[in-house]
Amino acid sequence: MSVQAYNYEALTIEKPTKRPKPLTKKKKEISGEDIIILATLEKLKKDLDAIYSSLDSVTDPVLIDSYIFEMNAINMRYKFYLRQCKDKGIVGKIF
């Protein structure tokens, strides 16, 4: 076996001249209206989960139709509030 000579000067790492920018941005305060929107989204999500679970146990066609209409209405409200969150930039702050 032969012994190899290492050049330690070539292995030195130069320090960057510029500091990297922080990965996190400054977070703005969440207003009362933002909290209401987020609370409404959580409630609508719980309502949807309840409808999905109750829809599994129903066999009457009239009740099935009723749950489907209610599910569609809640989905539309959920999309509306989610769009408001995205427009206000709440999604980036919270999620």
d(CA 23, CA 95): 16
Higher pLDDT, 74 or 21: 74
Residue 87's pLDDT band (boundaries 50, 70, 90)? confident
pLDDT tens digit sequence for 45-64 = 999 999 999 988 999 999 99
Output the CA torsion sign for 72, 90, 33, 88: negative
Mean confidence (pLDDT) of the chain: 78
Please spell the DSSP secondary structure of the chain, one letter per residue: --PPP--TTTT--PPPSSPPPPSSPPPPPPPHHHHHHHHHHHHHHHHHHHHHHHHHH---HHHHHHHHHHHHHHHHHHHHHHHHHHHHTHHHHH-
5-9, 68-72, 84-88: segment of lowest average pLDDT? 5-9
Residue 18's pLDDT band (boundaries 50, 70, 90)? low
Output the pTM of the full model. 0.61
Cβ-in-10-Å burial (0-12, 13-18, 19+) of 36 comes to exposed
pLDDT tens digit sequence for 66-76 = 999 999 999 99
